[in-house]
Structure 1
């Protein structure tokens, strides 16, 4: 029996040209580049899926608001308004504003977490509209704000809250709150890009949110405060927002307060959205 051996010198490899590689790698038609809306909605859906796989993230929009409503109503209602039922009518729209505004900071936490895990590097390499990732975070968090609003209103109705504005007034107040929160969240996306850890983002966010929410008309009428404090409280964006939501749910049309709230929302978006994208592009 004979054997045949083939030396390495006898093996000839056909040369590969650029045209051959192009034919293999791009054998099909290149897909169209996604639109800005499509890309933003995709990233928004990604944020929703993260909530689906880690439902514990909804704890802050369910248990925390319920605790706040019960605690403030029954601990301070009698002392501040004479009865818990009367205080609930004043308090619940304010607690709604406070709870949703406070959870806006988790947008920055989510951005910072993706940066630490290296996900952001992959996102930035995609051929998509540049702000799509940032807008997607905010759109995904709109679900959190909506859930928080629904939970607080449901608890309030059980406790005896009765909005004179009916369904239209409630929906108008919630819609205004969602618009404001969307714009307000741009501040935390900027911090999420600037700061190194998610704990830093939460710490700085709380230092900003707590004074804004407590130094407002959420819990008490500013007329009971010192004059020097009233000057700050009456011009706070949270005060204008709480007043607008409270009056809309009461069946009134507070044109001035709605205009102030939308004006603050526009200012936040105009200032912080470009700053966020500048930081994002320089990463």
Structure 2
């Protein structure tokens, strides 16, 4: 018995299989459309957005910080020091300005002896610094910033003389008194004694004649004969006052608008000081 040949039919799904494979791959395979890969995709999107926000914040912060540094530290402003224009950073302090420029050749004063010779260099008064005419304290120099267009003056300190003793001698005043040719004598200038000083240095031991430190002032009296043009006049004088009668006399003079001369006695002035004072006040 002859067997019938068996035929195996070859089935071909063609492109539909490949498309289905891609579709399935997209659902569950390497194309990432499955449930887990969907979550991972959304996570990556959030991360990218977060990083972008951080970058923007960093750029914004850098811009603000840079502007702040420029405005508070790097910006240059004009100032004038001892008449010379220059530019400095906006946060420049007086202390840093002095250190950076060698105190502009200013220096503290010296300690000198009574003869003016130096004992110790730069041991005198400190450098004087001012801004716009106002002196700045030494303890505030490092904390004082210089304003824009500020006028800074830096000057050397003064010398200081050593401690010393002073002895004084009186220089008697002279007199210039003229009485002839005048019915009235006027005190033009009161006399005053002068002073002659001698210094002895405590550290150097030097003795120095400092000469006359206060000049004497002479007593000056001048005569006077009042002769107003076209008028006749008399001079009222009162001697040996003041006394208990001085008050009533002054009342009359004040009422009549008249001036008078009082020739007073020293001991009576002490006894009637109020009357003496009134004479002076009323001329």
- The answer to whether the superposition gives a TM-score over 0.5 is no
TM-score normalized with structure 1 length: 0.20
- Structure with more strand by fraction: 2
TM-score normalized with structure 2 length: 0.20
Question: Higher relative contact order at CA 8 Å, sep ≥6: structure 1 or structure 2?
Answer: 1
- Structure with more helix by fraction: 1
Larger radius of gyration: 2
